[in-house]
């Protein structure tokens, strides 16, 4: 059974339908890239998958025991988030908040999970540093570690490489790919970089007011929509 299944889903923003008639599934171990132009509904869809935004029509069905509060989420960064006055360890540990329930304190298991994710992301030596003093790439690794603390099943990443230089971007893509392949965690990533998406992802969802394409990355590369002018980092690039 799929982790998430969208059935005839339409979603909107501020009273206006953004994207309609979505039918697709996300299964364990998938790496789905959601692509499309600005305003095509990518980020709004992510919020709906998280249960942060109601759908206008249709149903989002959660399966295989997945709960909405057990999805790891790395949102687009805001200026407020960039200046968050906490240590890297505290930021990563906060990913355990949803699983803490009514317990007033973090458990030893919570702390162990945070330490494991710091090690996995290669930032254990930064644990005591203030988050706002980190570089852009280090901040994204800390936030990814936080998201991983919240889940064993699925990560939702909303344009996680925005503002990063090409070298750091390539390293971040490689890191996501390794997590997906080695841990089996399903990855759903909103991206403007269609070429990298096709290279790394198992599946592509292309939006533009409706679902232009959903299928494997290989099928996408051979499709009409996959062969037309592509977006790369928000700009049109010829295939």
72 within a domain of the structure (yes/no): no
What's the pLDDT at 237? 37
The count of structural domains within the chain is 2
Residues 103 and 198 in one domain: no
CA dist 132 and 126 (Å) reads 12
Whether pTM exceeds 0.85: yes
In tens, the pLDDT along 127-138 reads 999 999 999 999
Residues 127 and 139 in one domain: yes
Strand partners, 59: 7
What's the pLDDT at 9? 96
Q: Which of 152, 174, 205 is the last residue of a domain?
A: 152
Residues 88 and 187 in one domain: no
Could you tell me which of 152, 150, 65 has the C-alpha nearest to residue 99? 150
The CATH number linked to 164 is: 3.40.50.300
What's the pLDDT at 77? 73
What's the pLDDT at 101? 64
Residues 148 and 173 in one domain: no
Residues 134 and 188 in one domain: no
CA dist 195 and 181 (Å) reads 19
Residues of the chain with pLDDT under 50: 230-239
71 within a domain of the structure (yes/no): no
Instruction: Note whether 88 and 118 are within 8 A (CB).
Output: yes
What's the pLDDT at 231? 41
């Amino acid at each position: 059974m799929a982790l998430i299944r969208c059935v005839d889903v339409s979603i909107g923003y501020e009273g206006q339908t953004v994207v309609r008639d979505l039918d697709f599934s996300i299964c364990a171990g998938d790496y789905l890239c959601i692509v499309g132009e600005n305003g095509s509904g990518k980020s709004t869809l992510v919020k709906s998958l998280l249960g942060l935004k109601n759908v206008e029509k249709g149903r989002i069905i959660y399966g295989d025991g997945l709960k909405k509060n057990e999805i790891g989420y790395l949102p687009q960064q805001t200026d407020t988030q960039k200046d968050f006055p906490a240590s890297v360890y505290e930021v990563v540990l906060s990913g355990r908040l949803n699983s803490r329930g009514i317990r007033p304190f973090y458990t030893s298991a919570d702390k162990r999970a945070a330490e494991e994710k710091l090690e996995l992301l290669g930032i254990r030596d930064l644990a005591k540093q203030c988050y706002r003093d980190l570089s852009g790439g280090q901040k994204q690794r800390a936030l990814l570690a936080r998201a991983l603390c919240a889940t064993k099943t699925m990560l939702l990443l909303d344009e996680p490489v925005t503002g990063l230089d090409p070298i750091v971007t390539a390293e971040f893509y490689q890191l996501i790919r390794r997590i997906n392949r080695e841990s089996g965690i399903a990855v759903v990533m909103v991206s403007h970089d269609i070429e990298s998406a096709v290279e790394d992802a198992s599946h592509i969802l292309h939006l533009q007011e409706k679902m232009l394409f959903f299928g494997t990355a290989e099928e996408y590369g051979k499709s009409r929509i996959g062969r037309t002018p592509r977006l790369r980092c928000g700009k049109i690039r010829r295939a």
